[in-house]
Structure 1
Amino acid sequence: MENNSFDINVELNIETLQSGELTRTKIAEPGKFTQIGKSIYLRFNESLENDQVASILVKITEDGEIHLKRVAKENNVASLLYFTHHQHNNGHLETEYGTMPLDTFTKDSQVEIVSNPLSGKINIDYDLIYDNNVIGNYKFRLIFNA
């Protein structure tokens, strides 16, 4: 089993449209690129208010499914979302009050990774769904390089 790990720089831009309000989030952090077998993992942190951080893990499976895990320990919040091109997926949000099911519908997804020099981009356009209602439209744009 192959296990390659590299330091990378990550730039993540997220555009959120909720209740008619557009929000943009930009994250630029150092991270790690790891390949185990045919799966790829990107790990990095998101700086939050009050010197707190959320750890983010993006996994790309052999069949192209994308898993997005975000854990903010200080806030007792964790989410796990799944993205498969043109499909609905079940995920969840864990809070101190319990677990809330969140679904995604992936309108579009693209993954491009180049090995020499190591770089890549992951684009996901998706709807976030709670209780069969779309609660937001998201554009996730991640670029990384070694």
Structure 2
Amino acid sequence: MENNSLDVNVELNMEVSQAGELTHTRISELGKLTRVGSSTYLRFNEKLENNDQAKIMVKVADNGEIHLKRVAEATNLASLLYFTNQEHNSGHLQTEYGIMPLQTFTRNSQVEILDRPLSGKINIDYDLIYDNNIVGNYKFRLIFKA
């Protein structure tokens, strides 16, 4: 499967707690899984309002670090976040007004990828931090299967 893309069904459930409000997002899409070296890439789209979409890429590195990139061209927003279990990481949000530095603290992360049958799950519980303040608590639950 080296350097080949395979179609996978992706289901992402996000729970976000910000300023006392709890929101849920569910994405169910066809995606592509690619392995390059010892890293695994999962790409899929998120449907937005007005028939727009955001492109999402999740990379699982061989050291267990998870990278999450989301680009929504219609709204001029792009984010790149990094997750390492029980560690702080630096990332950023790019807006039309400039780049905002962000941090994540990964409270818990789990990755399980099986080859036969091709399937997996990526779970991340994290805090999103801006200017040394926690702006939200996130639960990221992604499941995929060929």
TM range (shorter): over 0.9
Match of 2:81 in 1: 81
1: distance between equivalents of 2:87 and 2:4? 30
Segments of structure 2 that go 5 or more residues without pairing to the other structure are none
Unaligned runs of 5+ in 1: none
The 5-angstrom pairing of residues 49-88 of structure 1 reads 49-88=49-88
Match of 2:145 in 1: 145
Q: Name the aligned partner's letter for residue 101 of structure 2.
A: P
Code of the aligned partner of 2:44: F
Residue in 2 that maps onto 1:13: 13
Distance across 2 between alignment mates of 1:101 and 1:142: 25
Question: TM-score by structure 2 length?
Answer: 0.98
C-alpha RMSD over aligned residues: 1.0
Question: What SS is found at the alignment partner of 2:46?
Answer: strand
Partners of 1:96 and 1:68 in 2: CA distance: 20
User: Residue 119 of structure 1 aligns with which residue?
Assistant: 119
Map Cα deviations across residues 78-134 of structure 1 (whole Å, 9 max, x no partner).
Answer: 000000000000000000000000100000000000101100000000000000000
- State the percentage of identical aligned residues: 70
- Normalising to structure 1: TM-score of the pair? 0.98
Q: Which runs of 4+ in 1 moved over 6 A?
A: none
Deviation at 1:3, TM superposition (A): 1.2
* 1:2-25 Cα deviation digits (max 9, x unpaired): 313210000000000001110000
